[in-house]
Amino acid sequence: MSEAKLTEVKLHDGSGIEVEARGTGPVVLLPVNPRPAEGAKAEELRRWGMDPALGRSLVDGLADAFRVVAFDYEGHVLADPKPDSLTPQAIADDILAVADAAGAGRFAYYGYSWLALSGLQLAIRTDRLSALVMGGFPPIGGPYAQMLRVTEATHELAVSPPGVETSGTETSGTDASGWTAQEAQDVQVPRSTDDYDWSASEMTMTEPQTRQFVTLYRALRGFDDRAVQARLTCPRLCFAGSADTITYDERWGDVVVDIAGPFTGRRAELESLGWEVRVLDGLDHTQAMQPGRVLPILRPWLDSALAGR
């Protein structure tokens, strides 16, 4: 396995993101943080059932057979928000800039949650994908309208925390399809809601952080994910936990974000459209994104999809 090579790539807004490349073989782009969390940050992630070395574990699980290009896109946009420019086109341009820097003419892409829907947006904007894997967000029947409501409500909370009058403030907001690793830290909402008091959850994200996700979901208003399926030509896999349904309370608009529904209710349709589908029995949004669940699906599928490439 080759040593990690680091470089910085300029993104659509002029900011730079660090990219790490390891291994040899077909290129696989992973928008994950390759550096494990440590100390109190690691303990907090464990508390929510997250692997503090999630990104590193995925890289290590693939780099013996592939050239894995890892870049912490989610961490980057939270550290350097793009409140007015985080659009589907800009995200696709950023991913392509990473691929260019890695010297990858063609590449596979795996993303989870909002980074999965970003992969779909990438796939309809380029012919350079050798394979696409979407985890924790459905390729058809995606909850775009629900996530817009959640992000707008989250932005409202960032602008006017509980007890502060809103007085005509325009909403524009955050998050994506369920909460991913960095969001669980910054927003402190749970992956499992079975015994959690939503009214006690604490908003810690800033207005620019939240507004950039409203920008994203507003740009996706009216997006017809079923209509674009004919434009997808590379091998593709999607997966989610069968218990991946998130119910937000009144502070987030009483919205239900059903990720699992399209996987279970429209599985035959997905397969007829060329998707390989995996449903992880009993797992919620957090559980289904852990490396111990992802790698047994992702690794053999990529081996098959990229064989000979």
Reported as a single tens digit per residue, the pLDDT across 225-257 is: 999 999 999 999 999 999 999 999 888 889 999
What value does the mean pLDDT take over residues 213-234? Answer: 98
Q: Which CATH superfamily is domain 5-43+51-141+223-248+257-305 in?
A: Alpha/Beta hydrolase fold, catalytic domain (3.40.50.1820)
Q: What distance in Å separates the CA atoms of residue 64 and residue 138, rounded to the nearest whole number? A: 29
Q: What is the pLDDT of residue 5?
A: 83
Of 192 and 37, the structure prediction assigns the larger pLDDT to: 37
Of 133 and 204, the structure prediction assigns the larger pLDDT to: 133
What share of the chain has pLDDT > 90, as a percent? 78
Say how many C-beta atoms besides its own lie within 10 A of residue 284's C-beta: 25
Domain ranges of the chain: 5-43+51-141+223-248+257-305
Q: What is the pLDDT of residue 127?
A: 97
Q: What is the pLDDT of residue 201?
A: 52
Range with the poorest average pLDDT among 73-77, 158-162, 223-227, 245-249: 158-162
pLDDT band at 131 (very low <50, low <70, confident <90, very high): very high
Which residue pairs, CB below 8 angstroms and at least 24 apart, start in 121-128? 121/88, 121/89, 121/91, 121/92, 122/91, 122/92, 122/95, 122/96, 123/231, 123/232, 123/234, 123/236, 124/228, 124/231, 124/232, 125/88, 125/89, 125/92, 126/92, 126/96, 127/233, 128/96, 128/99, 128/104
Please state, rounded to an integer, the average pLDDT across all residues of the chain. Answer: 88
- SS3 (DSSP) at 256: strand
